[in-house]
Chains A and B, each alone.
Chain A
Amino acid sequence: MRILVYNKIMKKLSTISLFIFAVIVIAILTAGLVFYQNKKDITGGDTQNQNANQVTSSQKFSLEDVAKHSTEGDCWIIIEGKVYNITSYFGKHPGGNDTMSATCGKDATNAYKTRDSYATSSGSKTEHSKRAQNLLDNYYIGNLQ
C-alpha cells in the first residue's frame, strides 16, 4: 500500500483549472460587455435595441428600400413587419448561407417560421428557437412602412 500524497498535486490541478476558468470567463464577459457598448455607440443605442421583447425603432423602410439589399454582401430581410440587416450573420447560420440568401431583399417571415426558404417543403416546418429569436433581434434595424 503506497502512501498517496496527492494533496499538493491535487491542489495545483484545482488552482490551474480555477485560474484558466476565471481568465476565460472574465475575458468573454468583458468582451461581451465592450462589444455591447461599442455597438450602442455606433448605432446611437437606438436603432439596434438589444432587448428581445422591447425592440422598437423610429426607422421606417419601404418594400423598395429593402429590395435594394438583396445580395449576400448586403442582405436585408423582413420578418413580421420588422426589417433586419443580416449581412454580418452570413457564415454563421447552422442551416448554411443558401437558406438565408434566398430571402435577401424580401419578406422572409414564412421562411423563418417554417425554416423552409424555398417553400419546397424541404425545411423542417418548425419554428426557430428562442435563442435564435434573441439572436435575430441583434440585427434589427427598423420597421416596414
Chain B
Amino acid sequence: MIIIYILALVPVIAWGTMEPLNYRFPDFVTSMTSVGQILGLLGIMLFSTNLILAGRLKIFDKYFKGLDKMYQNHQKIGVLAFSMMLFHPLFLVIKYLAISTREGALFFVPFINMPVTWGILSIIIVISLIVFTFYLKMKYHVWKISHKFMTIAFFFSVLHILFINSDISRNNFLKIYILIFALVGLVLGIRRAFLYRFIKKIKYQVVDNKLLNKDIREITISPISNKLNYKSGQFVFVNFINKNITSDQHPFTISSSPSEQNLKFTIKNFGDFTDSVSNLKAGDIAFAEGPYGDFNYRNRKSKNQIWIAGGIGITPFLSMSLDKDKDYQVDLFYCVSEKFEAVHLDQFEKIMKEDNNFKFYLWESSKSGYIDAGKITSVCGDLKEKEIFICGPRNFMKNLENQFVKIGVDISRIHYENFSL
C-alpha cells in the first residue's frame, strides 16, 4: 500500500519542483488553484492504480497476500480517487469565481472548452457509477457490468489531462510518468472489462450438481485437458456456459483437494446467481481463471493451528482438511446455528479417525451459544503460539479477531479469507 501512495505522490513532488513554492502559493486564489492541481494529479494517479489493480494480475495476489485483500484496497483507493476528482474542480473554480459568478458557473458547463468537457464527462460517469456501487442495491452481475464503465470514465480523464493546458503538458517528466501509468491502466482496464474472454482460463465441464442440504449445493467440474494447479484454500473465478445462468465470472473457493482431478465448489444459495446454479447440468462448459488467494495453512510460523469456519465459510477448510499434512496439529471449529445446516460432517469424522493431529468440533450456537475466544481457549488451551485461520461472515471474522487480539494473540498469526461470502 505504501508503495502505491509513494508512486502516486511522485508527480506531486515533480510538480512542486517545477516552480518555487511561493509562486504556487502567493495568495488565496492562486493557492486554491494549486491545491486543485495537486488533487487532480493525485486523482489521476490513484485512478490509474485502481485500474491496474482491477487487472487482477497474479503478482497482486502475492503482494497483497491474497486477492481478497487487494480488492479491499481497491475500494479504498477508488473512494480516495473519487473524492479527489470531485474536489479538483471545486478548488479550480475559485479562480473563475474571483472574476465573476458567471465565469464560475460557465466553468461547470460542458462543451465550451473540450479538455474541460472530457473532465466533466469523466466526473459525471464516475458519480453515476459510485451511486450504483454504494447507494443502489443491485444484482451482482448488473453492478459488475456497470463498473466496467469506469474504464470509459478513465479514458475521458486521460483525454482531459492530455489536452488541457497545464503543468503536465509543460513538463516532460510529468507527462511521460503519468502517461505510462495511464496507459498501463487503460490497457489492463480494457482487457479486464471488455476483452476478458481472451484472458487465460482453463476449460472444464460440469460432471455433477447435487444438493447437500436445503441451501447448500455442490458443483463438480472436470478438466477437459489440463487441470488447474492450486493450493488448498485458494479460490478461482468461474463462468459457466448455460443459457439459464449469467455468463459473468464469480469467485468460488475450491472445496476439493489439490490432488484430485476434479474441482468442487460448495455453494450456499443467497438468491441471485447462487440460486441459478441449480440449473447447471452435466456437460455444461465452465471456465476457471486462477487460482488466487493466500489462505493456506502451510509455511506459517507454527504447525499448531486453530481453524474456525462460520457457516459456508467451511469451504476452504474442506479443501485444507483433505490436503492436511499429518505433522500439523489442527483444531477445526465448524460453527452453525443447528446441526442440519452443516455439510460434509462424514468427511471430517473420517479424517479425524485417520489423523490423530486433527480434531473436529461441530459448534452449534443454538446449544453452546456463539463461539468466542474464551470458549476456544477453554477447549484448546493457550492460543498465543498458534496460527488462527478464520473464514465466515465478515462480522463473525471481525469479532473473533478483536477477541483474539484482546487476549494477546499476535495479529500476524490471524489469517482470514473474505471471498466465501
Chain A positions within 8 Å of B, measured between CB atoms, are: 1-7, 10-11, 13-15, 17-18, 20-21, 24-25, 28-29, 31-33, 35-36, 50, 92, 134-135, 138
A2 x B401 contact (CB < 8 A): yes
Q: What's the least CB distance linking A102 to chain B, in Å?
A: 21
A36 x B394 contact (CB < 8 A): no
Q: What's the least CB distance linking A84 to chain B, in Å?
A: 14
- Which of B90, B101, B130 is A32 in contact with, Cβ under 8 Å? B101
* Listed residue (B102, B398, B411) with the most chain A CB atoms within 10 angstroms of its CB: B102
**Chain B interface helix/strand/loop/mixed:** helix
Residue B322 interfacial (CB < 8 Å): no
B414 x A1 contact (CB < 8 A): yes
B101 x A35 contact (CB < 8 A): yes
A-B contact pairs, 11 of them (CB 8 A): A1-B414, A3-B401, A4-B69, A6-B76, A21-B87, A25-B90, A28-B105, A32-B106, A33-B105, A35-B101, A135-B99
User: Known contacts A14-B134, A17-B86, A21-B90: does B69 contact A31 (CB below 8 Å)?
Assistant: no
Q: What's the least CB distance linking A138 to chain B, in Å?
A: 7
A25 x B130 contact (CB < 8 A): no
Residue B351 interfacial (CB < 8 Å): no
Write out, one digit per residue, whether chain B residues 392-405 have a CB within 8 A of any chain A CB (1) or not (0).
00100110010000
User: Known contacts A3-B416, A20-B90: does B394 contact A14 (CB below 8 Å)?
Assistant: no
In which size bucket is the chain B interface?
Answer: 35 or more
Q: Which B residues are in CB contact (< 8 Å) with A10?
A: 75-76, 79
Q: Which B residues are in CB contact (< 8 Å) with A6?
A: 72, 75-76
In order of increasing CB-CB distance, the 8 nearest A-B pairs are A32-B105, A17-B83, A21-B86, A10-B79, A35-B101, A4-B72, A31-B101, A17-B86
CA A1 to CA B65, docked complex, whole Å: 9
**Chain A interface helix/strand/loop/mixed:** helix
CA A57 to CA B401, docked complex, whole Å: 75
Residue B104 interfacial (CB < 8 Å): yes
Write out, one digit per residue, whether chain B residues 69-82 have a CB within 8 A of any chain A CB (1) or not (0).
10011011001101
Q: What's the least CB distance linking B341 to chain A, in Å?
A: 24
A-contacting residues, B48-84, CB 8 Å: 65, 69, 72-73, 75-76, 79-80, 82-83
CA A18 to CA B97, docked complex, whole Å: 21
Residue B415 interfacial (CB < 8 Å): yes
Q: What's the least CB distance linking A93 to chain B, in Å?
A: 9
Q: Which A residues are in CB contact (< 8 Å) with B97?
A: 28
CA A4 to CA B416, docked complex, whole Å: 11
CA A66 to CA B131, docked complex, whole Å: 55
CA A19 to CA B232, docked complex, whole Å: 45
User: Known contacts A33-B105, A35-B101: does B83 contact A14 (CB below 8 Å)?
Assistant: yes
